[in-house]
């Protein structure tokens, strides 16, 4: 049916006040100015469509109208060649509009849009859409960054609710430009140490920056440097500061967040970060030094900071003290979620601290079993290998030995069992599938690991493909990391040249479908209309995105293991469209954040994963309408990535 054939239902239009109230309940209309909303109201007409009736059909011309769902829902399907039941590729519920992409690109629609049940929609001419994109920045931003715009609003709502209840003075999303307290104090590299220290004392500073004559940062000297670099070595105060300063200086852009500075400090073990103001786009000017941000400037979340948690781990001499540090990590994660910090930063923080925790356990175990000096590499697998750990996570690890350590394999297995048990005591449950370094099948030399990977690639059976989803994301965590790098290079070359295995990986990944037909509180594809069922945010949400990123990165020789880094590397390699990747990344971040929120709300205690059988399940009916809408869009992005895989590996 042509889209203009269906006439409006005048008796159902209702007063404009009620229509305005409806629109203001949904993005992007809730973000638009009153004049822009008035313009929209003037061009709307209400139409009714019965179940199965077509609103839009694929034609040779761009659509002449666009739609906003008022009641019911609309699905977009692509007819199948064999005449079978088409699979929904798009679902729109109350408050959602379509077809945005076709209108922006001025192209025909590619799907058939059909009513699901009795459906009422507001219809408006394409000219009104074009006018709003020109006159309303909020509307244009939403249309071009649909998922990102929804995520921004969700984060703002979460922050507003937290700020109202906790009266936070500052949160980790604050730009560093707003954190810098004063202009930088600098000195030249040849400045005598005594003169620099006198300046620090007079200015009541914890650090002083060293700059060249052209303003380039040469180094930094902090109060914490003095004992080891000046006092104990008894360095004369006449010594030029360049001989005792730290270099290079860790820097961040002024628009970077406090969370970025926290991560940099925690990962590099520093307490000060220089803040640089970049030049305006198109300018050839060099970045300007804005100031210095110290750890004290940033934050103290209930007396707990990233650096303090890391310091507690490094000082720990027993498993009991490390278990206490692990509880602090989870407490920090809860505080970060409460502040509205993004999932990318939180999972990065959690993974970094968990890395440090594991590394400290390994150090203590090496001493205990007198294996210090042995050439080995502890491999992190799965989510830990991807640096994407949430709060509820078990262990996935393995051991890579050098050839000369093979005769001591039994000793290394005892060591590995000690590390696995210590991690369990710190709240990381033993892997039920036995994917741990204490398993003799996972304590192998480099040559043995190569043979193991080759066997999986040659077999291609379901177990081999499952192993691939875990082991191919390995990352060296402790010991001789060059062993892991060598194994990564070998695996990457083998997989890239094995099209059959990539096809098998794809076929396996495509058996896990995101619930794209999800509407309201139902998962239509899984159970059928009218039945409620919780959603597994890991299985149905993040896993399709993780699998897709892994397959595409292996196919294009990308060594990264982190999902978001893989996506961005695909753009850099010319293997993926930047707009597509932006949607996949936003979807992944939202699903990770939702997993964190579910895990925190379901815990109540400190032990991760021990409170519920599946800490990744959520009842969509318990979400806000905004988060339900984002969740559905995130599922759609997962499906979109799977369609890309299906085209690449038919």
Q: Of 497, 524, 548, which residue constitutes the final position of a domain?
A: 497
Q: What is the model's pLDDT at position 259?
A: 80
- Rounded Cα distance between 649 and 647, Å, is 6
Tell me what percent of the residues of the chain surpass a pLDDT of 70. Answer: 85
In terms of domains, do 477 and 514 share one? no
Residue 329 inside a domain? The answer is no
Strands 88-92 and 97-98: unpaired
Q: Which has more pLDDT, 326 or 422?
A: 422
Q: Cβ of 579: how many Cβ atoms within 10 Å?
A: 11
Is 248 a residue whose pLDDT tops 80?
yes
Q: For residue 42, what is the domain's CATH number?
A: 2.60.120.10
Q: What is the model's pLDDT at position 6?
A: 54
48-66: average pLDDT: 90
> Which H or E run contains 601?
helix 578-603
467: nearest Cα among 381, 360, 361: 381
Residue 308 inside a domain? The answer is no
- Give one DSSP letter per residue of 159-183, joined into a string: HHHHHHHH--S--TTSBGGGT--S-
- Rounded Cα distance between 423 and 355, Å, is 11
Residue 87 inside a domain? The answer is yes
Q: Which two tokens stand for residue 84?
A: 């079978």
Is 625 a residue whose pLDDT tops 70?
yes
In terms of domains, do 482 and 522 share one? no
Token pair 């109201």 is at which residue? 41
Q: For residue 584, what is the domain's CATH number?
A: 1.20.120
CA distances from 537 to 84, 93, 295, 590, 594 (A): 29, 20, 35, 10, 8
3-24: average pLDDT: 61
- Cβ contacts of residue 115 below 8 Å, gap of 6+? 49, 50, 51, 52, 53, 54, 55, 72, 73, 74
In terms of domains, do 44 and 110 share one? yes
Q: For residue 467, what is the domain's CATH number?
A: 3.30.460.10
In terms of domains, do 220 and 129 share one? no
Q: For residue 236, what is the domain's CATH number?
A: 3.10.580.10
Residue 502 inside a domain? The answer is no
Strands 186-187 and 443-445: unpaired
196-212: average pLDDT: 91
- Rounded Cα distance between 180 and 188, Å, is 22
Specify the length of the chain in residues.
650
522-551: average pLDDT: 72
Q: Report H helices in 369-408.
A: 382-385
Q: What is the model's pLDDT at position 101?
A: 82
CA distances from 400 to 379, 413, 485, 560 (A): 7, 11, 11, 19
Residue 338 inside a domain? The answer is no
Q: Print burial letters for 226-248: b (CB count within 10 Å at least 16), e (below 16).
A: beebbeeeeeeeeeebbebbbee
45-66: average pLDDT: 90
In terms of domains, do 380 and 493 share one? yes
pLDDT tens, position by position, 77-92: 876 666 566 666 777 8
In terms of domains, do 524 and 636 share one? yes
Is 493 a residue whose pLDDT tops 80?
yes
In terms of domains, do 132 and 240 share one? no
Instruction: Find the domain containing 248 and state its range.
Output: 176-298
Q: Which has more pLDDT, 53 or 315?
A: 53
Range with top average pLDDT, 188-192, 369-373, 393-397: 188-192
Q: Of 144, 165, 188, which residue constitutes the final position of a domain?
A: 144
Is 611 a residue whose pLDDT tops 50?
no
Residue 532 inside a domain? The answer is yes
In terms of domains, do 264 and 380 share one? no
Q: Report H helices in 255-298.
A: 258-268, 295-298
Q: Of 455, 474, 497, which residue constitutes the final position of a domain?
A: 497
Angle at 587 between CA 129 and CA 510, to 5 degrees: 110
- Rounded Cα distance between 47 and 391, Å, is 47
- Rounded Cα distance between 305 and 296, Å, is 10
Residue 336 inside a domain? The answer is no
Number of domains in the chain: 4
Q: What is the model's pLDDT at position 159?
A: 53
Is 51 a residue whose pLDDT tops 80?
yes
In terms of domains, do 354 and 493 share one? yes
In terms of domains, do 363 and 491 share one? yes
pLDDT tens, position by position, 324-382: 888 878 877 777 776 667 778 888 888 888 899 999 999 999 999 999 889 999 999 99
- Cβ contacts of residue 357 below 8 Å, gap of 6+? 313, 322, 325, 326, 329, 423, 426
Residue 161 inside a domain? The answer is no
DSSP at 293? E
In terms of domains, do 362 and 493 share one? yes
- Rounded Cα distance between 41 and 538, Å, is 40
Range with top average pLDDT, 102-106, 190-194, 335-339: 190-194
Strands 272-277 and 251-253: parallel
Q: What is the mean pLDDT of the chain?
A: 83
- Rounded Cα distance between 97 and 101, Å, is 11
In terms of domains, do 464 and 359 share one? yes
């Amino acid at each position: 049916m042509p889209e203009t054939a269906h006439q409006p239902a005048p008796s159902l239009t209702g007063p404009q006040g009620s229509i305005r109230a409806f629109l203001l309940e949904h993005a992007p209309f809730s973000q638009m100015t009153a004049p822009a909303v008035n313009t929209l109201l003037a061009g709307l007409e209400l139409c009714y469509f019965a179940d199965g009736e077509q609103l839009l059909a694929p034609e040779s011309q761009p659509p002449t109208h666009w739609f906003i769902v008022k009641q019911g829902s609309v699905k977009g399907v692509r007819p199948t060649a064999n005449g079978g039941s088409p699979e929904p590729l798009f679902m729109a519920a109350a408050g959602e509009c379509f077809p945005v992409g076709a209108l922006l690109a001025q192209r025909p629609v590619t799907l058939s849009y059909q009513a699901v049940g009795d459906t009422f929609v507001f219809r408006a001419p394409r000219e009104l859409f074009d006018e709003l994109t020109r006159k309303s920045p909020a509307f244009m931003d939403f249309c071009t960054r649909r998922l990102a715009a929804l995520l921004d609003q969700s984060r703002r709502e979460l922050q507003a609710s937290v700020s109202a209840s906790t009266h936070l003075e500052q949160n980790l999303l604050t730009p560093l430009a707003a954190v810098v307290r004063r202009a930088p104090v600098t000195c030249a590299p040849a400045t005598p140490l005594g003169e620099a220290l006198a300046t620090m004392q007079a200015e009541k500073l914890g650090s002083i920056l060293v700059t060249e004559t052209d303003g380039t940062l040469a180094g930094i000297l902090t109060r914490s440097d003095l004992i080891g670099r000046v006092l104990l070595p008894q360095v004369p105060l006449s010594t030029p500061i360049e001989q005792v300063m730290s270099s290079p200086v860790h820097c961040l852009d002024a628009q970077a967040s406090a969370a970025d500075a926290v991560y940099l400090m925690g990962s590099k073990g520093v307490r000060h970060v220089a803040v640089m103001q970049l030049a305006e786009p198109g300018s050839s000017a060099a970045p300007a030094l804005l100031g210095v941000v110290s750890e004290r400037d940033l934050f103290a979340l209930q007396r707990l900071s990233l650096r303090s948690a890391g310091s507690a781990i490094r000082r720990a001499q027993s498993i009991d003290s490390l278990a206490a540090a692990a509880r602090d990590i989870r407490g920090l994660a809860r505080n970060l979620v409460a502040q509205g910090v993004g999932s990318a930063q939180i999972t990065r923080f959690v993974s970094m601290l968990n890395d440090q925790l594991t590394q400290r356990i390994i150090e203590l175990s090496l001493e205990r079993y007198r294996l210090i000096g042995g050439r080995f590499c502890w491999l992190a697998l799965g989510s830990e290998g991807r640096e994407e750990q949430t709060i509820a996570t078990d262990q996935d690890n393995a051991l890579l030995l050098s050839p000369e350590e093979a005769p001591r394999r039994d000793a290394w297995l005892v060591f590995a069992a000690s590390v696995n048990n210590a991690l369990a005591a710190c709240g990381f449950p033993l892997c039920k599938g036995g994917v741990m370094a204490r398993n003799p099948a996972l304590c192998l030399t480099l040559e043995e690991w190569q043979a193991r990977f080759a066997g999986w690639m040659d077999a291609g059976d379901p177990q081999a493909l499952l192993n691939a989803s875990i082991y191919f994301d390995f990352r060296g965590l402790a010991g001789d990391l060059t062993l892991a790098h060598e194994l990564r290079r070998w695996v990457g070359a083998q997989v890239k040249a094995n099209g059959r295995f990539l096809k098998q990986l794809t076929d396996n990944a495509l058996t896990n479908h995101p619930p794209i037909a999800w509407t309201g509180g139902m998962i239509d594809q899984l159970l059928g209309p009218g039945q409620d069922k919780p959603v597994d945010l890991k299985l149905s949400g993040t896993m399709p995105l993780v699998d897709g990123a892994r397959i595409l990165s292996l196919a294009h020789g990308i060594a990264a293991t982190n999902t978001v880094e893989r996506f961005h590397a695909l753009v850099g390699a010319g293997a993926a469209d930047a707009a597509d990747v932006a949607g996949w990344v936003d979807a992944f971040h939202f699903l990770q954040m939702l997993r964190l929120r579910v895990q925190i709300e379901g815990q109540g205690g400190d032990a991760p994963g021990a409170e519920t059988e599946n800490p990744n399940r959520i009842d969509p009916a318990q979400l806000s309408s905004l988060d339900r809408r984002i969740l559905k869009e995130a599922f759609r992005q997962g499906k979109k990535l799977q369609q890309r895989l299906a085209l690449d590996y038919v």
